[in-house]
């Protein structure tokens, strides 16, 4: 049997249901202008600053009869928050929690991105929330970034391809999505004050593409600026980015808003393209100070510091987004739903499809459930819930299934036992310095439980299977992942590393290591592990998703969205010395992730895009033909026939990279330019995968012309199972130079 699967470049859209209240742009602007014409200066200013931590003011006199409400995050709808502080209203509202965005990126599946967005949109509509503060699309520049788990990996092509259908899914429910954090917020260390510096070419080729795709392809309605300075200017006051890039170059029509506490002035911010000021309720003060009913922005207009037309535009864009979603016009909006069995199914299935099988050398996996009478789980975190952690990533769920709980539920005829590592570990007192600023929910930890090594070994050798659960957890200690702080060390604590060496040295017959993290972690023992499974944070169904893969009910098909270096010293930020908390210069340029490893010929621990399966696949008949793309009538269509040559159904991922043997300017060894994930292929079934490359996919940022340019000539087209496993090569020839406005 042979089927065809088509992905057009990096921005494939997935068809699904549409919004009800969403007006076209002209109609939305007409509705917005009518309301604007009735408003006083003070009423316009109300739309430029929050009326509370997560709200904009109602203005009944002009027909805005209720407050516009917002909510974090990219994998759930955060519980409703108090008006004047970071606390939650009681009782806390409950919502489904989906896998993190790092997990979504590991699916390499645009269909999952669309479904992820639809679930978020539906749950927000059911809660009566109007704006989702996500997705985040910042690039994984350093593995120490505490928020890598909230983003879509290290590659701009992958991040762009995944964020577009996610945004479209959210907005299909008449909810505004918010792409963030614009831009160069690629670390949490001193994010509120750090000054970042990047050359224009790197900015446009690495750090802007996902934002551009969100604006131009997904037509995202809102954008959040980052905390950091960029070349000495706060991101929320940066005219080049807010006016020059967003408005003029990309034609962004929607709301620009600050991250919470990210505005630092009144007139300077307004005059340089700023938008809505947001903070915890009491902290909102530069545009509209709700606590004292003051209007600093109106005062600036009357003092001739800000043109009245600037405030008109700021308010108009807010009204435009309100009209687009049906909020302003009271149009019928798509009905939502929350905590449904279907949403829980999505959480579980998406999570399972994101899991990456890195090693399975003795074919220990999948485990045979009927043969398991005794199962030992090593690692306390296998039964520690994560959904209520992570600051803005926090959720409140009706239930959460840990790995240990899922094993006990599934293996009803077996004895399933949990024991801590054979290591004793002290954790320093929690750093609470940023808690008030970021809304952190502070946690304290003392000693971690530990097991006697001989007792642990005896239990392990008596078990039919041993599952070792390691990696990170969400929280505020030095080796945890969370908003507002970076991890202190690349490697896990020495005690845990030593414990892993000890356990793997026992040469247990059926030992499976499950590593959970949203970012690469420094492991020194992977050569001793025969079986290694990598997962990110999977939300409320995490345990079930992992067990589905361990027992073979789901064949793993995830691929890494980040390069895993062998040691921190191998990373670009370490070798260039450009990671600090004051002035960060992106001296590595566009050599980020696998691009850096290619340039320096550094072998990674696990390559970008890598992942194994319980079956095998054969690729044949790779070829390139001319065809039509969404924007290019003379595009290249890259084709390959993928056949399942194993004994169980499974999915494969085809990655297309471009090489530049005749480049006129400096280029990377290769860049990801497209990908496609097959359907579930039965044994012996073949699918023809087609990936469209348009001329813009060959382009680089021309510093002299200040725009993208693709030079005529011959290019290498590389079909890979990862960034290092290239299975087929072909040539593509551009017959003329081409230039692109942006």
Catalytic residues, by residue number, are 259
Q: What tokens does 635 get?
A: 């595009």
Pairing of strands 374-378, 415-419: parallel
Cα 78 from Cα 70, distance rounded (Å): 10
Kindly report the number of other CB atoms within 10 A of residue 15's CB atom.
Answer: 9
Task: Give the relative orientation of helices 494-505 and 453-462 as an angle to the nearest 10 degrees.
Answer: 40
E-assigned strand segments in 538-693: 583-585, 617-627, 635-644, 653-659, 671-677, 686-693
Length of the chain: 742
- Round to whole Å and give the CA distance between 481 and 146: 5
Angle between helices 110-127 and 156-171 (to 10 degrees): 40
**Which has the closest alpha carbon to 577: 596, 569, 564, 593?**
569
Say if residues 699 and 712 touch (Cβ distance below 8 Å): no
Tokens 């994984």 -> residue: 140
Smallest Cα–Cα separation from 465: which of 355, 374, 567, 568? 374
The CA-atom distances, in angstroms, between 622 and each of 305, 639, 739 are 62, 6, 29
The conformational region for residue 362 under phi > 0 = left, psi -120 to 50 = alpha, else beta, is: alpha
| Nearest-angstrom CA–CA distance, 562 and 105 | 9
For the CA atoms of 76, 81, 86, 89, the dihedral, rounded to the nearest 10 degrees, stands at -120
With beta carbons less than 8 A apart as the criterion, state whether 114 and 172 touch. Answer: no
Q: Which two tokens stand for residue 529?
A: 């592990």
From 152, 309, 179, select the one nearest 255 (Cα to Cα). Answer: 179
Quick check: 477 and 430 in contact, CB under 8 A? yes
d(CA 590, CA 667): 9
In terms of Cα–Cα distance, which of 470, 517, 463 is closest to 495? Answer: 470
Q: In what order do the strands lie in the sheet with 195-197?
A: 233-234, 229-230, 195-197, 583-585
The tokens describing 198, both together, are 């990047």
| Enclosing H/E stretch for 416 | strand 415-419
């Amino acid at each position: 049997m042979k089927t065809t699967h088509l992905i057009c470049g990096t921005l494939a859209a997935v068809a699904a249901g549409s919004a009800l209240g969403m007006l076209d742009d002209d109609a939305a602007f007409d509705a917005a202008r009518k309301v604007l014409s009735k408003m006083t200066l003070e009423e316009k200013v109300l739309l430029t600053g929050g009326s509370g931590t997560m709200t904009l003011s109602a203005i009944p006199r002009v027909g805005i009869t209720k407050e516009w409400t917002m909510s974090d995050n990219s994998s759930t709808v955060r519980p409703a928050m108090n008006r004047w502080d970071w606390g939650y209203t009681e009782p806390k509202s409950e919502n489904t929690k989906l896998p993190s965005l790092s997990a979504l990126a590991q699916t390499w599946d645009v269909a999952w991105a669309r479904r992820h967005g639809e679930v978020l949109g539906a749950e927000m509509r059911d809660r009566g929330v109007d704006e989702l503060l996500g997705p985040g699309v910042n690039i994984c520049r350093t593995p120490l970034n505490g928020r890598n788990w909230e983003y879509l990996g290290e590659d701009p092509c992958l991040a762009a391809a995944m964020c577009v259908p996610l945004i479209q899914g959210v907005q299909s429910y008449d909810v505004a999505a918010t792409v963030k954090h614009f831009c160069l917020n690629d670390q949490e260390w001193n994010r509120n004050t750090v000054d970042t510096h990047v050359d224009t070419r790197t900015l446009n080729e690495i750090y802007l593409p996902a934002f551009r795709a969100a604006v131009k392809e997904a037509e995202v309605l809102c954008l959040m600026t980052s905390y950091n300075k960029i070349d000495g200017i706060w991101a929320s006051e940066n005219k080049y980015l807010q006016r020059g890039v967003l408005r003029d170059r990309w034609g962004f029509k929607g709301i620009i808003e600050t991250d919470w506490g990210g505005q630092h002035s009144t007139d300077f911010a307004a005059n340089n393209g700023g938008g809505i000021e947001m903070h915890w309720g009491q902290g909102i003060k530069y545009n509209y100070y709700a606590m004292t009913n003051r209007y600093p922005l109106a005062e600036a207009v009357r003092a001739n510091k800000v043109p009245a037309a600037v405030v008109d535009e700021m308010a108009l864009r807010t009204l435009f987004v309100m009209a687009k979603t049906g909020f302003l016009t009271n149009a019928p909006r798509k009905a939502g739903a929350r905590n449904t069995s279907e949403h829980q199914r999505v959480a579980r299935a998406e999570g399972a499809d994101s899991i990456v099988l890195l090693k399975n050398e003795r074919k220990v996996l999948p485990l045979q459930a009927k043969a398991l009478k005794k199962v030992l789980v090593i690692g306390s975190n296998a039964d520690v819930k994560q959904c209520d952690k992570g600051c803005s990533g926090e959720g409140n769920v009706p239930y959460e299934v840990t790995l240990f709980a899922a094993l006990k539920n599934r293996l009803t005829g077996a004895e399933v036992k949990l024991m801590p590592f054979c290591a004793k570990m002290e954790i320093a007192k929690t750093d609470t310095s940023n808690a008030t600023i970021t809304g952190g929910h502070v946690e304290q930890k003392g000693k971690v439980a530990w097991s006697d090594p001989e007792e642990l070994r005896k239990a392990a050798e008596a078990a039919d299977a041993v599952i070792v659960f390691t990696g990170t957890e969400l929280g505020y200690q030095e080796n945890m992942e969370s908003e507002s702080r970076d991890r202190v060390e690349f490697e896990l604590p020495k005690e845990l590393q030593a414990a892993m060496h000890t356990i793997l040295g026992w040469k247990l017959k059926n030992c499976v290591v499950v590593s959970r993290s949203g970012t690469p972690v420094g492991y020194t023992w992977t050569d001793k592990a025969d079986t290694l499974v990598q997962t990110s944070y999977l939300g409320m169904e995490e345990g079930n998703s992992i067990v589905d893969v361990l027992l073979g009910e789901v064949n793993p098909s995830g691929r890494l969205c980040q390069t895993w270096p062998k040691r921190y010293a191998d990373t670009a930020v370490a070798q260039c010395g450009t990671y600090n908390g004051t002035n960060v210069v992106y001296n590595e340029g566009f050599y980020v992730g696998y691009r850096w490893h290619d340039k320096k010929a550094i072998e990674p621990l696990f390559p970008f895009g890598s992942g194994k399966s319980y079956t095998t696949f054969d690729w044949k008949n790779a070829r390139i033909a001319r065809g039509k793309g969404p924007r290019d009538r003379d595009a290249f269509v890259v084709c390959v026939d993928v056949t399942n040559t194993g004994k169980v159904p499974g999915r494969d991922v085809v990655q297309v990279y471009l090489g530049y043997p005749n480049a006129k300017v400096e280029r990377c060894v290769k860049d990801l330019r497209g990908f496609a994930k097959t359907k579930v292929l039965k044994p012996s079934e073949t699918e023809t995968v087609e990936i469209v490359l348009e001329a813009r996919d060959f382009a680089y940022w021309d510093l002299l012309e200040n725009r993208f340019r693709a030079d005529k000539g011959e290019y290498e087209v590389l079909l890979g199972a990862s960034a290092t496993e290239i299975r087929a090569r072909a040539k593509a020839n551009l017959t003329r130079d081409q230039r692109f406005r942006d």
